[in-house]
Structure 1
Amino acid sequence: MTAMQDQSFRTMLARLDACGDLHTVRRTVDPRFELGAVMSLRRHGPAQLFASVAGHAMRIAGNVMNARERVARLLGTDKAALPGRLLAALASPVPPVLVEAAPVQAVVHRAPLDLACLLPVPTWFEHETGPYITAGVIVAKDPETGRRNVSIARLRLDGGGRVMVGIARNHHLNVLAEKARAQGESLPIAVAIGNHAAVLLGSQMYLGLGDDEYDIAGALLGEPLQLVRCLTVPLEVPAGAEIVLEGAIDAADLVAEGSVSEFHGFYVDYGPGTGGTIGCVTHRPDAVYQAILPGYAPEHCLLGALAIEAVCCAALQRVIPAVRRVFVTDGGMGRLHAVIAMHRPRLGEGKRAVILAMGQINLLKLVIVVEDDIDPEDATQVEWSLAARFRGDEDLVVLPGLKADRCDPVHENLTVTKIGLVACTRPGDGERGSRSEFATAPAEVLARVRAQLGDY
């Protein structure tokens, strides 16, 4: 059997450092606002490793997955191949395997705990009510079926071992917590911090309740994800993680949250969150704490965008084979706007793709359809397609009063108007004498010059 690769977060950091894509901040940084400000101002730059964090021995790494090129590199591929890699992972999941021991359990802290002393958790924004863990992969199991769920949600430190988890009512983690509540129990959870890119991406995929996101992580790795059993809860966590928190949340324990940042960059107040308690923390001897800058920040938005693209594209391709790519835009906050590329769609297929995409992903509210001669990541090409191929009286889809996600910044009573724009060619477009005939040199001249372009 071939030896398995190192699936650790620190190996990823070493790879980034080796290619000059990791910047080490040696100046002491305060985790209260200052660290987040540095990450925000370097949002599009190299990954940041904070070597000296005031009041803490642990280092902090952030902005690790803030660009598509870097995500692709961390998965061992290139940017052009990344969409196909994600689709293939959804189509061919790889179940995880258990290992007996892992470095993440080298150091053990048991209750009573003071999480704020143990971990350098940043306080991000002025009006938020405490420090938030933002890159914690939360693992839980269905109390009825035993099936695993892996996701990310924000966790606020509330003193000692207490935490507040911000979970939408429809999210699978909340569904599992409510099932446990109905049985008169709390829900055991484990929170892994400092994970391989495959684990983070896998945790974001929109799967069915009962489908295991660890299987997607394994497919992205190209081998089974290695897991280790927790010490105090009946759960398994990535063996390559840096830090693990073990505890439980209680759906009956409602905790006020107040203002919190969201992906659009604004503050929101979602009402109470779910309370919980951490009873055990394990970590590597020289653990690196991973932080994702929340709000309208490249890494936060990109992790969601990549998952939405893959899940939406896979769903559309099952019913519309002409769909080639779904791209979720940065300007659309990695959630709300998408461009769908299609190969020679038949009349009406573009509108159908718009409606199906919005039905598949509730967040989407602006969808542009282009042909696959347009690069959906190139905003200039997309705008050209709108200018050259979009007819407002025929190609505009306006859907008022549709169900919106609670995250949408302009929803009214959880509804919003959703819009589709179909910018595709029609029969006869591009033919000799049509208004959309491309102006070029004679084909034979163009071919000859292209072949010899280096000589000019």
Structure 2
Amino acid sequence: MSIDQSMRGFLAALEDDGELHRVGRVVDPRFELASVLSLRDDGAAQLFENVQGSAMPVVGNLYNHRSRFARALAIEEADLDAHCLAALRQPVKPVMVEDGPVQEVVHRAPFDIGELMPVPHWFEKEGAPYITAGVIVAKDPETGRRNVSIARFRLEGGMRMMAGIAKNHHLAQMAEKARRLGRDLEIAVAIGNHAAVLLGSQLYLELGDDEFDNAGALLGAPIELVKCKTVDLEVPAHAEIVIEGRLKPDDLIEEGAVSEFPGFYVYYGPGIGVEASCVTHRKDAIYQAILPGYAREHCLIGAVSIGATLTRDLKRAIPAVRRVFVTEGGMGRLHAVVTMHKPRLGEGKRAVMLAMGSVNLLKLVIVVDDDVDPEDWRQVEWSLAARFRAHEDLIVLPGVKADRCDPVHEDLVVTKIGMIATTRPGDGAPGGRSEFVRPPAEIYERVRRDLESY
């Protein structure tokens, strides 16, 4: 049996389990839709069936729990990190197909993107509606290698958009290459994707690595791609919508205030102009929206992928590392808990420095033993209280280069902190102050095996 590569198969599964809420009343895409998603940030996925000014429904809050990603990938939640690590080790290349549902309807120029799809206007001070769940496909203008990522697109009217891309992202590097060559950069923006494509697009890979390879491994089958109509690119055949166009590196558009994952407005300056050339979509397309700002889905998409790639990188250097968990409270970007198995003296501090060196965004890293569940803050806090010696185990690194997204940076510099809360040789020895209390082992084990009978 073939694997469903669409978003809608997961929607059906959520509805079967009572985790898809259908909003029947008319909802205004200008601020009202954002308000509903924000107020139901932690609940069921929301399917807005009647969006004012559009015949196309909108779905949001689709992946606002780690368990949702796991279910979409047909795995247990406890296996999510291991599954992502396996996808990094054993990529599965995509395959081309002649046609796909995403091209059932084709709109060629001229058209108005805002009239074709219900793009929400999210927050009060933002200048216009933003596409937030668009997976961007582009090719390096020098090597021809494919890159898959996510960035925000603001509607500028008609076929015109503005792309907000961080300068250190691979897409920005490719746009700069195109600018030096005096060319535009062809892009395609796929909206309404399977979880494997969304997660794959967020993996921290090298420039030149094709994220569709890892998305295929996450899915468990090659991602089926179809050729675009007006640009030399390939997009997921089972997506809901695709916008084809060209990024114009010399066409700079002032952005003004825009929301970012800390939950604040930021002012990044100009974004890059985009001229769309074609829009294709399913006959009954569903527009996917991810609530930006400090929202669960926005934070989790980054957290799961960053945690997986960072686990891989740290394990290569320090075999004692077991897992890197990037926290939701840290906005899915800034805080991480690293678990280690019997680390040698100094390895915890090395793990902190390697983690911060690998992911520029990280500014708080806590290292614990692998008997602590990094997802359980009660256990992490216990570990800090029981195993952390501040005079030896606290790392304070002032004046470190920060990412522009950090909410407290000053001139792109921030102070970073590491906390090592691990056991040491001799901890837990009989008569010591860290000896665990427990009933006799044979009684404890007998009760554990037969616990259901009590």
Place the TM-score, normalised by the shorter chain, in its bin.
Answer: over 0.9
SS in structure 1 of the partner of residue 304 of structure 2: helix
Q: Which amino acid aligns with 1:171?
A: H
In the other structure, the counterpart of 1:203 is 201
- Partner of 2:443 in structure 1? 445
- Encode CA deviations 1:305-337: one digit per residue, 9 max, x unaligned: 011101111000001011001001111010000
Counterpart pick for 2:235 among 228, 234, 237: 237
Q: Deviations over 1:276-298 (max 9, x none)?
A: 11011011111000000000000
1:407-450: CA deviation from partner (whole Å, max 9, x where unpaired): 00000111111000000001111110000001111112222222
The structure 1 residue matched to 2:419, chosen from 421, 427, 433, is 421
What does residue 165 of structure 1 align with? 163
Number of positions where the alignment pairs a residue of Structure 1 with one of Structure 2? 454
Matched, 1:382 2:390: no
Aligned CA RMSD, in angstroms, stands at 0.8
Q: Could you tell me which amino acid in structure 1 is paired with residue 274 of structure 2?
A: G
Q: Find 1:90's aligned residue among 80, 88, 92.
A: 88
The answer for the alignment partner of 1:25 in structure 2 is 23
**Hey, what's the Cα distance between the residues in 1 that align with 2:205 and 2:133?**
19
How far 1:398 moved relative to its partner? 0.8
- C-alpha distance in 2 between matches for 1:334 and 1:276: 28
Would the aligned equivalents of 1:140 and 1:188 in 2 still touch at CA under 8 Å? yes
Aligned to 2:285: 287
Contact 1:202 1:213 in 2 (8 A): yes
Tell me the equivalent position of 2:79. Answer: 81
Q: Which amino acid aligns with 2:269?
A: G
Aligned partner of 2:305 in structure 1 is 307
1:215 Cα offset (Å): 0.5
SS at match of 1:209: coil
Q: Is the 8 A contact 1:186 1:249 kept in 2?
A: yes
What amino acid maps onto 1:354 in structure 2? V
Alignment of 1:330 onto 2:307: no
Cα deviations by residue, 1:204-239 (Å, 9 ceiling, x for unpaired)? 011100000000100001110000000000000000
Would you say the 8 A contact 1:149–1:173 is kept in 2? yes
Tell me the amino acid that sits aligned with residue 228 of structure 2.
Answer: C
CA contact under 8 A between 1:174 and 1:251: conserved in structure 2?
Answer: no
Amino acid at match of 2:438: T
Are the counterparts in 2 of residues 325 and 340 from structure 1 also a CA contact under 8 Å?
A: yes
Secondary structure, in 3 states, of the residue corresponding to 1:304?
A: helix
Question: What is the correspondence of 1:70-219 to structure 2 with a 5 Å cutoff?
Answer: 70-219=68-217
For residue 220 of structure 2, the aligned residue among 208, 219, 222 is 222
Equivalent in the alignment of 1:357: 355
After TM superposition, the score normalised by the length of structure 1 is 0.99
Which runs of 5 or more structure 1 residues have no equivalent in the other structure? none
Contact 1:104–1:283 under 8 Å retained in 2: yes
Deviation at 1:184, TM superposition (A): 1.2
For 1:377, what is the secondary structure of its paired residue?
Answer: coil
For residue 395 of structure 1, what is the aligned residue in structure 2? 393
The TM-score, its normalising length taken from structure 2, stands at: 0.99
% same residue: 68
Are residues 1:38 and 2:36 paired? Answer: yes
Q: Provide, for residues 376-417 of structure 1, a one-character-per-residue CA deviation record: whole Å limited to 9, x for no partner.
A: 000000000000000011101111111100000000111111
